[in-house]
Structures are given as structure tokens and as C-alpha cells.
Chains A and B, each alone.
Chain A
Amino acid sequence: MTTRHRYPRLTDAEGPKQIPKAVFIEDVEDYIGPANPLEVHRNLNELLQKYRFMEEEFGKKQRALQEKLPEIKEAITVIKFLKDRRGHDEPLETHYQLADCIYAEASVPPTETVCLWLGANVMLEYPLDDALALLEQNLNTAAASLKDLGDDLDFLRDQRTTTEVNVARVHNHMVHIKAKVLAQAQTQAQSTRAEATDGANN
């Protein structure tokens, strides 16, 4: 049995991540009740803006994570490669990015440690195995966050759509009321005119 919600109930209990779950209006007239439809419409619109804003914020976070993921995977590949070379004696000849479009050559002797740029002007030196463990942990955290974000975005999208539908139906309801009121006024005007002419004729 669906609970019948009445205005001012716009949202149900909070869904995951404290995103409020939008209430679906079963019957518009019943939902509005004695309240002013204009006010209901306005509040529903405000709720819609909030959902849209949240969607954008989550979208930004998702894009940032999606960019980070390949970076971490690349770093892991490189560390594994360095681990494999541990036994060898010869240095590794490589090209590195010196500037935007310039690559220069360098010679890298086999090494037990590697320096990781952690951001915020911080770089730490790690033994190879520790570096690998750290990066793999970062990868897992990032992947889990990305999945959560995806789920949240789906939930948000549903709530936003529900609210859009609610806004549209309340709007249509208001149009319907106005049309009814206008029709009533017209029929009244006609009947008063009819009475007046009747009176004049009698």
C-alpha cells in the first residue's frame, strides 16, 4: 500500500549518502490539499534545482576520479617493470619528458627505491615493494569510490526525474484550475446577463 503524502512533504526519508528521496505525487489535487498550488510549485522547483546542483557536483568528482585511474595504473606498470629489472646490471636507457614537447635521454641504473609524487608539493621515496603496495591500495580505493559515485549518480538521476515529473504535473494542475475558474466566471457572467435581459423584458 502506498503512503499518501501531502504537501509540505517533498521528500521521504534520506536515501544513501544523505541524498533525500523524492516523494512521487500519486494524486496531485490530493497532494496539494488546502495549500497554495503556486507555493507548492515553487518549492518543488527549488528541490529540483538542488538535485541538479548535486548531480553536477557528483559528476565533477566522477570525472576527476576517471582521470586519476589510468594514471595510477600506469605508475603500477612502471613499478612492476622496475622490480623485474632488479637482477640486471645494465642501466636503463630511457627518454623522459623534459618540457611540454621536449623529451631528453637519461640513463637509469637499477634501483631499490623509487620516488612517488603524492601531490601538494610532497614527494616521498619508497622501496619498490612498498611503492607497489601503496599504489595498488590507491587503485582499489579509487575504483571503489568511482563505483559508489556511479551508484549515487544513478539514484540522484531518479530523484531528479521524479521531481521534474512532479513539477510538470503541479503546473498542469494549476493550468487546469485556471481554465475551470475562467469557464465558471464566463458561465456566471452569461447567466447574470440573461437575468438582466429577462428583467428588462418583463
Chain B
Amino acid sequence: MATEGGGEGGASPQVIPIASLPLENLVQLKEQVEQEIIKLTTSVNGSRLASNRFKESVAALDTLTPESRGTQALIPLTQSVYVPGVLSNTEAVLVDVGTGYHVRKSVPDAVKYCQRKVDMLKDMMAQTAGPLAEKKRFLQAVNLHIQMQTEQRRAQQREQQQQGE
């Protein structure tokens, strides 16, 4: 019989005997697991978006080569205001490392920084993938039991009705 664990990310997953739970508890459990799945999925999506942004940063950095020094470009002074200008420094850039700090790095170092972030996010996503799949399987089992119990109840009600007649 199904006694799948609904691990709460702790060291020892709880084993919840869903076969023996009454219908109301099952429904509560289902909602709880659905919420957890939503949280995990949102986190994975966020990581994916961030990873894409860092990949784009690498592509942008690739445009800064020693040859591109002195190229004319439209330089953004604000989100919507651009002025014609010239790329003056193609050796080093400022990298926003969070909490208001910017670090001057050489272009290759900046690329390595972005790459490290991409790899870190990939690891995070891989780590979440396992528990996420497990929770989805658990949810399926819970739904199955909810269905079975609902059918049982309906059958009982029908029997009672017939007996009453």
C-alpha cells in the first residue's frame, strides 16, 4: 500500500501513511503539498531567469575586446536617454556584486564571475529538481486516495438511500 514520505527537506523524511488518513485530512495534505510544489517551482523559475541574465552578461562582455576600444556607440545615460559616445575602456569593467558594492575586474575576470554564478544556479536548480519530482509523485498518490475515498463515500450513500426506500 502506498506509504510514501512527504519529506520536509529535513534529514529524515516523515513517512505519512496516506492509506489510513480520512478524507478531510487527505484534502488538507493535498493543499499543503500543492503549496510546497508552487514554492519550489517559483524558486526554480527564478533561478533560471537569473541564470539567463548572467549568460547575457557574458555575451555583452564578449563585445569588449581590445579591438573594440574607440568604437562609437550610443551610450545609455538613463533608461531612456542615450548619447553618442566612444568605448573608452575595454580592459576593465565594474561588476555589481550586491549590497551596493561594485568591484573593478578585468574583462576576463568578469566573465569568470558570471560563469561561476551560472554554474552555482545550475547546481541549485539540480538540487531542487529531485525533491520537486518526489513531491509531485506524492501529490499524485494523495489525489488517487482522495478519489478512491470519495468514490467509497458515494457508493455508501447510494446504498443507504436504496435501503431507505
| A and B associate in one complex | yes
Closest chain B residue to A107, Cβ basis: B88
Please report whether the interface of chain B is mostly helix, strand, loop or mixed according to DSSP: strand
A101-B95 in contact given A94-B77, A108-B75 (Cβ < 8 Å): yes
CB-CB under 8 A from A78, the residues of chain B are 77-78, 81
Number of A-B contacts (CB under 8 A): 113
Number of interface residues of A (CB under 8 A): 33
Of A71, A99, A105, the most chain B CB neighbours within 10 A belong to A99
CB-CB under 8 A from A116, the residues of chain B are 80-82
- Within 8 Å of chain A (Cβ to Cβ): is B22? no
Number of interface residues of B (CB under 8 A): 35
- Within 8 Å of chain B (Cβ to Cβ): is A127? no
Per the bound structure, the CA–CA distance linking A118 and B61 in Å amounts to 26
Per the bound structure, the CA–CA distance linking A167 and B84 in Å amounts to 62
- Asked whether, in the complex, the Cβ of B78 is within 8 Å of the Cβ of A75, the reply is yes
- Within 8 Å of chain A (Cβ to Cβ): is B132? no
- Asked whether, in the complex, the Cβ of B82 is within 8 Å of the Cβ of A114, the reply is yes
- In the complex, identify which listed stretch (B51-59, B122-130, B157-165) lies at the interface while the others stay far away: B51-59
Chain A, residues 143-177, CB within 8 Å of chain B (1/0): the string is: 00000000000000000000000000000000000
Q: Which 3 A-B pairs have the closest CB atoms?
A: A99-B57, A105-B89, A108-B85
- Within 8 Å of chain B (Cβ to Cβ): is A97? yes
- Within 8 Å of chain B (Cβ to Cβ): is A189? no
- Kindly identify which residue among B61, B81, B85, B88 contacts A98, using a CB–CB cutoff of 8 Å: B61
CB-CB under 8 A from A100, the residues of chain B are 53-54, 56-57, 96
- Within 8 Å of chain A (Cβ to Cβ): is B93? yes
- Asked whether, in the complex, the Cβ of B82 is within 8 Å of the Cβ of A115, the reply is yes
CB-CB under 8 A from A103, the residues of chain B are 93-96, 102
Chain B residues 18-65 with CB under 8 Å of chain A are 53-54, 56-57, 59-61, 64
Closest chain B residue to A117, Cβ basis: B80
- Asked whether, in the complex, the Cβ of B84 is within 8 Å of the Cβ of A106, the reply is no
- Within 8 Å of chain A (Cβ to Cβ): is B86? yes
Closest chain B residue to A119, Cβ basis: B80
- Within 8 Å of chain A (Cβ to Cβ): is B76? yes
Chain A residues 81-119 with CB under 8 Å of chain B are 82, 91, 93-109, 111, 113-118
In the complex, 19 of the A-B residue pairs with CB atoms within 8 angstroms, ordered by the A residue number, are A71-B79, A78-B77, A94-B77, A94-B85, A96-B75, A98-B57, A98-B60, A98-B93, A100-B57, A102-B61, A102-B110, A105-B89, A105-B93, A106-B75, A107-B86, A107-B87, A108-B83, A117-B80, A118-B80
Please report whether the interface of chain A is mostly helix, strand, loop or mixed according to DSSP: strand
- Kindly identify which residue among B74, B83, B93 contacts A102, using a CB–CB cutoff of 8 Å: B93
CB-CB under 8 A from B80, the residues of chain A are 71, 75, 116-118
- Within 8 Å of chain B (Cβ to Cβ): is A181? no
- Within 8 Å of chain B (Cβ to Cβ): is A123? yes
- Within 8 Å of chain B (Cβ to Cβ): is A139? no
Per the bound structure, the CA–CA distance linking A93 and B53 in Å amounts to 27
The smallest C-beta distance from A180 to any residue of chain B, in angstroms, reads 34
Q: A98-B64, A107-B85, A115-B82 are in contact. List 5 more A-B contacts (CB 8 A).
A: A94-B77, A102-B57, A102-B93, A109-B85, A114-B81
- Asked whether, in the complex, the Cβ of B89 is within 8 Å of the Cβ of A104, the reply is yes
Per the bound structure, the CA–CA distance linking A78 and B64 in Å amounts to 26
- Within 8 Å of chain B (Cβ to Cβ): is A74? yes
